[in-house]
Amino acid sequence: MTKREPETAEELLNAVGPAFGKLRRSSLLEVEDPISEKDLSRTLVLRIVLDAEQEDTGEITVGAVGRHLGVDPSVASRMVSDCISAGYLVRAASQQDGRRTVLHLSPEGRELMARFGRHQRAAYDFITADWTEHERLELARLMIKYVASQDSLARRAKGQGARS
């Protein structure tokens, strides 16, 4: 039995959430240079550290990783420790407050993230291979816009929380 496509605007919009839920799971497609499930979950932590470095948003601590992921501090600590054990992250003393420990990507962590980026692009190309160029670029543009809007909302909420 073939699943029918959403027909109304309401059905289409209600299908978005479940579709987003399937995106990360489907990224394990057997495209070139596949990423292991373990390393796939490590990229969640590594992406937070890498984004902070690239955006120069300050130092990233284990607590900040937990806040970004919306997980308990003990869960964040285990996730970070796993990335350190795998050789993808290193701990360093904060340059702003010597009592704090901050996180940095190791060369191996940078290579994993570069490989993950290539894997994501290969998966996107594979999945959208029979789409028109316009469709492929429009989805990419809209996904980037969606994420930017989500980040903007998170920054505003964070700013409002600090004033409360």
DSSP letter assigned to residue 14:
H
Please say if the pLDDT value at position 162 is more than 80. Answer: no
pLDDT band of 164, cuts 50, 70, 90: very low
Task: Give the residue, 77 or 23, on which the prediction is more confident.
Answer: 77
Q: Quick check: 90 and 106 in contact, CB under 8 A? A: yes
Tens-place pLDDT, residues 104-146: 999 999 999 999 888 888 888 988 999 999 999 999 999 999 9
Cα Rg of the chain, angstroms: 19
Contacts of 122 (CB under 8 A, 6+ apart): 31, 32, 33
Decide if 69 contacts 48 (C-beta within 8 A): yes
Looking from the CA of 30 toward its CB, the CA atoms found within 13 Å total 0
Q: Can you give the pLDDT at residue 136?
A: 95
Most confident region among 27-36, 103-112, 144-153 by mean pLDDT:
103-112
Judge contact between 82 and 42, C-beta under 8 A. Answer: yes
For the chain, what is the total number of helices (H) and then of strands (E)?
A: 6, 2
Q: And the tokens for 33?
A: 């240079």
44 and 38 Cβ atoms separated by less than 8 Å = no
Angle between helices 37-55 and 62-69 (to 10 degrees): 110
